[in-house]
Structure 1
Amino acid sequence: MQTILGASGQIGRELARHLKRDFTSDIRLVSRRPQKVNDTDTLLSADLLDPEQTLRAVEGSEIVYLTAGLPMNTQRWVEEWPILMRNVIDACVTHDAKLVYFDNTYMYPQTDRPQTEDSPFEPNGAKGKVRGEITRALLDAMAQGRVQAIICRAPEFYGPGRTQSITNATVIDHLIAGKSAKVFLRDDVLRTLIYTPDASRAMALLGNTPDAYGQTWHLPCDDNRLTYRQFIELAAEVFGVEGSYTVLKRWQLWLAGLINKTLRDAAELLPRYTADNIFVSDKFKARFPDFQVTTFRQGLSAIGDERAPSSNYGN
């Protein structure tokens, strides 16, 4: 059995589809309120902050995928992520299950230096610090031989369905609704974005590749990086809308953060929007040369097709 912890998010749901299509129909979906993605899925409700419920969620699994997320709330991240990771590692050790962890880049330096699997952890705030700490906890468990695991790291998302990201919320959703997009700080620096179905498909492939274990992998992205100006121009062309946008300055974001706690808690990420973001996935592409990475045009076209019946195209 292959189990997805945090199966209700976009990454978990797409992972379930790719596992069923390419590898197995014996899939367990775990979240507080899980829903089937495939007809053959098994559902289990669990709170991963509870060690006993986590043990039950992992029991009987050969491979466990940790795709759980927490709201953009700094206090909850600091308090809950270490507990969640400890519970999952302990459950995998107890039940001799392999672990595939979906990680992010919050702990990386927010500079224009290319990011590779060997990049140092130099977080800019509390959320980045705790993500670095839980990743190190998993690396320590791997080094000690307690658990076989893979770390799958991804940059910022964009994608279909319930994809939650700054790019979806401030650019894609606005353009599709016929509104002006919002860009943080600069529109002329390069962004590396990963298409969520690619992230899930790559994670399914890694989890079912025995020699991939014991390593960190950057998940594959389109290397034809665009600035937000170029991304918005392309999106507007694909969606058939006007590509208007506003660049929000730091003081505007600070003022907005006074009344919007989510935006305030995301403030530590702002430096990444002032410099080129070069996330390098060459290691994955060399190991899996046949993996087809979705281009920005292809990804945006798929999003546009999905949203078309209820969109405001042409407004």
Structure 2
Amino acid sequence: MQTILGASGQIGRELAACLRRDFTDDIRLVSRRPQKVDDRDQLFAADLLEAGQALRAVEGARIVYFTAGLPMDTRLWVAQWPVLMTNVIDACATHGAKLVYFDNTYMYPQTARPQTEDTAFQPNGDKGRVRGAIARQLLDAMSSGRVEGMICRAPEFYGPGMTQSITNTTVIDNLRAGRKARVFLRDDTLRTLIYAPDASRAMALLGNTPDAYGQTWHLPCEDQRLTYRQFVALAAEAFGVEPRYTVLKRWQLSLAGMFDRRIRDAAELLPRYEADNVFVSDKFKRRFPEFQVTSFKQGLEAIAGQA
């Protein structure tokens, strides 16, 4: 059995579809209120903050994918992420399940220096610090032999369905609704973005590749990087609208943060929009040269084709 913890998010749902299509018919979806992606999926309702529930959710699994997320609330992240990681590691260790962890880049330095799997952690705030800490917690469990696992790390993503990211929320959703896109700080720095279904498809492949374990993997992104100015133009073309956008300055975001906790809690990520963001996924591409990465044009046209 292959089990997805945090299966209700867009990454988890896409992952379930990929696993069933390419690897297994025995899938368990775990979340507080799980919903089937396929009629044959097994559902298991669990709160992973409860150790006993996490233990039961993992029982019988051969491979566990940890794709759970938390709301953009710094206090919640600091309090809950270490508990979640501890419970998941303990459950996998108890049942002898392999662990595939879907991670982000919040712990990386927010500079123009290329980011590889060997990039040292240099977080810019509490969210980055806690994500770095739980990544190290898993790496320690792997190196000590407690669990057989891997880290699958992705930059900011964009995609179809209910994908939640800054790019989806501020650019894609606005353009599709006929409104101006909103861009943070600058429109001329290069962005690395991953198409959400590609992240899920790559993670399914890695999880079912025995020699991929014991490592950190950057999930595959298009080699071409675009500025937000270019991305808005390409998205507008796909959606059949004018490429209208506004660049939000720091003072505007600070003012908005006084009234919106989500914007205030995203403040530690702002430096990455002031510099080129160069996330390197060459390791994955060398190991899996047959994997087809979705181009920005293809991804945006797929989003445009949604009902």
Q: Same fold (TM over 0.5)?
A: yes
Residue 275 of structure 1 is matched in structure 2 by 275
Q: Give the secondary-structure state (helix, strand or coil) at the position aligned to 1:253.
A: helix
- 2:93 counterpart letter in structure 1: V
- 1:11 counterpart letter in structure 2: I
Q: Give the secondary-structure state (helix, strand or coil) at the position aligned to 1:141.
A: helix
Residue 221 of structure 2 is matched in structure 1 by 221
* 1:136-175 correspondence runs (5 A): 136-175=136-175
- 1:24 counterpart letter in structure 2: T
Residue 72 of structure 1 is matched in structure 2 by 72
Runs of 4+ in 1 over 4 A off after TM superposition: none
Q: Deviations over 1:226-277 (max 9, x none)?
A: 0000000001111110110000000000000000000000100000000000
Residue 90 of structure 1 is matched in structure 2 by 90
Q: Give the secondary-structure state (helix, strand or coil) at the position aligned to 1:306.
A: coil
* CA distance in structure 2 between the partners assigned to 1:304 and 1:85 by the alignment: 36
* CA distance in structure 1 between the partners assigned to 2:217 and 2:103 by the alignment: 10
* CA distance in structure 2 between the partners assigned to 1:74 and 1:7 by the alignment: 22
Residue 285 of structure 2 is matched in structure 1 by 285
* 1:51-130 correspondence runs (5 A): 51-130=51-130
The Cα of 1:39 is off from its aligned counterpart by 1.3
Residue 240 of structure 1 is matched in structure 2 by 240
* CA distance in structure 2 between the partners assigned to 1:72 and 1:130 by the alignment: 13
The answer as to 2:166 corresponding to 1:188 is no
* CA distance in structure 2 between the partners assigned to 1:15 and 1:236 by the alignment: 28
Q: Deviations over 1:84-107 (max 9, x none)?
A: 000000000000000000000000
Unaligned 5+ segments in structure 1 are 308-315
Q: Give the secondary-structure state (helix, strand or coil) at the position aligned to 2:94.
A: helix
The Cα of 1:38 is off from its aligned counterpart by 1.0
Q: Deviations over 1:211-237 (max 9, x none)?
A: 000000000001110000000000111
TM superposition score normalised by structure 2: 1.00
Residue 24 of structure 2 is matched in structure 1 by 24
Q: Give the secondary-structure state (helix, strand or coil) at the position aligned to 2:258.
A: helix
Q: Give the secondary-structure state (helix, strand or coil) at the position aligned to 2:21.
A: helix
The answer as to 2:17 corresponding to 1:3 is no
* CA distance in structure 2 between the partners assigned to 1:202 and 1:239 by the alignment: 27
Number of residue pairs matched?
A: 307
The Cα of 1:187 is off from its aligned counterpart by 0.1
* CA distance in structure 1 between the partners assigned to 2:223 and 2:185 by the alignment: 23
Q: Give the secondary-structure state (helix, strand or coil) at the position aligned to 1:44.
A: strand
* CA distance in structure 1 between the partners assigned to 2:234 and 2:141 by the alignment: 44
Give the aligned CA root-mean-square deviation in angstroms.
0.4
The Cα of 1:284 is off from its aligned counterpart by 0.1
* CA distance in structure 1 between the partners assigned to 2:102 and 2:28 by the alignment: 17
The Cα of 1:288 is off from its aligned counterpart by 0.1
Unaligned 5+ segments in structure 2 are none
Q: Give the secondary-structure state (helix, strand or coil) at the position aligned to 1:259.
A: coil
Of all paired residues, the percent bearing the same amino acid is: 76
* CA distance in structure 2 between the partners assigned to 1:64 and 1:88 by the alignment: 9
- 1:198 counterpart letter in structure 2: D
Q: Deviations over 1:93-126 (max 9, x none)?
A: 0000000000000000000000000000000000
Q: Give the secondary-structure state (helix, strand or coil) at the position aligned to 1:68.
A: coil
* CA distance in structure 1 between the partners assigned to 2:276 and 2:38 by the alignment: 39
* 1:34-45 correspondence runs (5 A): 34-45=34-45
The answer as to 2:175 corresponding to 1:206 is no
- 2:177 counterpart letter in structure 1: A
* CA distance in structure 2 between the partners assigned to 1:39 and 1:25 by the alignment: 11
- 1:223 counterpart letter in structure 2: D
Q: Deviations over 1:187-212 (max 9, x none)?
A: 00000000000000000000000000
* CA distance in structure 2 between the partners assigned to 1:161 and 1:234 by the alignment: 19
* CA distance in structure 1 between the partners assigned to 2:155 and 2:211 by the alignment: 24
Q: Give the secondary-structure state (helix, strand or coil) at the position aligned to 2:114.
A: coil
* CA distance in structure 2 between the partners assigned to 1:276 and 1:239 by the alignment: 26
* CA distance in structure 1 between the partners assigned to 2:205 and 2:265 by the alignment: 33
TM superposition score normalised by structure 1: 0.97
The Cα of 1:77 is off from its aligned counterpart by 0.1
Q: Give the secondary-structure state (helix, strand or coil) at the position aligned to 1:114.
A: coil
